[in-house]
Amino acid sequence: MKKLLVPLSLMLVLVIGFALTANRASAINSNARTAAMAESNISIEETPSSPAVQVFQELNKKGQAKIGEGWLYMRQSDKVDVDPPKEEGVVPLIDTTMDGWYYINAKGFAERFVTITRTMDGQIQQVGIYSDGTTWNTMVDETEIMEPFFFENFNYGLPYGFKSPDFKSNNIALEDGSEAVLFTYTLKEEDPYYAFDYSSSARVEFMSYEYIFDSDTGFFVSLKQTVHFEDDSQRVLSYILLEEIKFIAEPPADVLKYFDLKKTREEQK
Amino acid sequence: MKTKQKSLALAVVLILSLLLTTVAYAGTTSVSGGVGDANCTASKTITQSSSYWTAYVRSQCDLGIGVIGYTSWTVRQYCPMSGSYTVRFQSSVGDVNTNTNTFQRAISNIQYATGCGNGYIRLHDMGRHDFKTILNIWRPSVTRNEMHVY
């Protein structure tokens, strides 16, 4: 009996180890599945509703109802405030604008798009093109396979804030007098930390987020992401403004030519 | 004495078993190989927090070798909805340690760039590792991709 004790113990440990691994692998696969589902058909997270969440969901429904079949044009700007890098190889965030043309089909799925990102002096930094089930980016010259995705009203990740206990909404008036809703929340890590983009600053204590949505259209207006440091100073890491969003008959010819360029590049590969 | 050995064997198996589960959970992509007599592993790891993420590159061997590190390393974010990249670190020059068996670097606490319309991004930790002895070279390319919905 004693002779059997050691092999049996070893087997038991291995079985427990395997079960733990399988369980975790299953959890990872489950997460991957969820993420893969999100990639092909991203949906707003279902979370127990606070009043602010309900306000957002109503606005989002309003905005979503305005997205129909055809070419949607959007233009956003992204202004950042970060430290210049000290270390070689670090690529700093820079101010950019992005123009995007999305073809949305009758079922609400984006089938094709061209996005052009420019630096503030108007130079093209990169172009992203999606057609025939693949995306190609001019900056990195890489192709990715992607299914058509359900085109959701732009939210720039607002639903992530639903998890925050201080997620709330307030009605506000914009500079032009139009009505809007301001959503705010904060994110605090367990411990303060030195951030990659603020190597010469104090440790980050928390981040705050301010989203504005147009009450009339339900469309995103802006997002201000502020970093709050331990020494009570703060900096706006990123300010994103959706400058324009509208349906158009067709993108300009110099935009459509990118579909041909992508096709040519894919044939060369 | 025999009982002690058995206990030791049991402890080793238990530790290995637990390590196995930890590796599966760590967000790491590894490739195993070797250079000369040394058995080596090239790995990339991404760890995520609510407001930031960290990318690691790690080259490791069971014996000391002449050169160990990477020849290229890129850390970036990708927004599938716009097909655009935000590159945060890029080195095509490489970085190495000499006459040792380990190399590790990290790009730490990168706050997520939030300019992606639907809040769904992918994090990329990619590049070619460098393992060299006088007579042999092993340079595997290893990529770790992770999704993040912010």
pLDDT tens digits, one per residue of A202-231: 999 999 999 999 999 999 999 999 999 999
Does B111 contact A38 at a Cβ distance shorter than 8 Å?
Answer: no
- Tell whether the model's pLDDT for residue B139 goes beyond 70: yes
The pLDDT of A31-39, averaged and rounded, is 38
Does B17 contact A20 at a Cβ distance shorter than 8 Å?
Answer: yes
Interface test with B, best of A21, A30, A56 (most B CBs within 10 A): A21
A66 sits in the region (left: phi over 0; alpha: psi -120 to 50; else beta) called alpha
pLDDT > 70 in chain B, percent: 83
CB pairs below 8 Å between A and B: how many? Answer: 161
- Copy the structure tokens of residue A244: 């324009």
The answer to whether B87 and B28 are in contact (CB under 8 A) is no
What's the pLDDT tens digit per position in A47-98?
A: 557 999 999 999 999 999 999 999 999 999 999 999 999 889 999 999 999 9
- Tell whether the model's pLDDT for residue B55 goes beyond 50: yes
pLDDT at A258: 98
Q: Inform me whether the C-beta atom of residue A83 falls under 8 Å from chain B C-beta atoms.
A: no
A199, A243, A207: which is closest to A225 by C-alpha?
A: A207
pLDDT at A5: 55
pLDDT at A2: 53
Helix (H, G, I), strand (E, B) or coil at A168: strand
Does B10 contact A6 at a Cβ distance shorter than 8 Å?
Answer: yes
| CA distance to partner chain B, nearest, from residue A135 (Å) | 6
| CA distance to partner chain A, nearest, from residue B105 (Å) | 13
Cα B140 from Cα B148, distance rounded (Å) = 26
pLDDT at B16: 42
pLDDT at B114: 84
Q: Inform me whether the C-beta atom of residue A169 falls under 8 Å from chain B C-beta atoms.
A: no
ipTM given for this complex: 0.82
pLDDT at B113: 86
- Copy the structure tokens of residue A159: 């639903």
* DSSP for B106-147, written as a single string: EEEEEEPP---TTSEEEEEEEEEEEEE-SS-EE--EEEEEEE
| CATH number assigned to the domain covering B29-149 | 2.60.40
What's the pLDDT tens digit per position in A105-146?
A: 999 999 999 999 999 999 999 999 999 999 999 999 999 999
Cα B106 from Cα B104, distance rounded (Å) = 7
Does B80 contact A117 at a Cβ distance shorter than 8 Å?
Answer: no
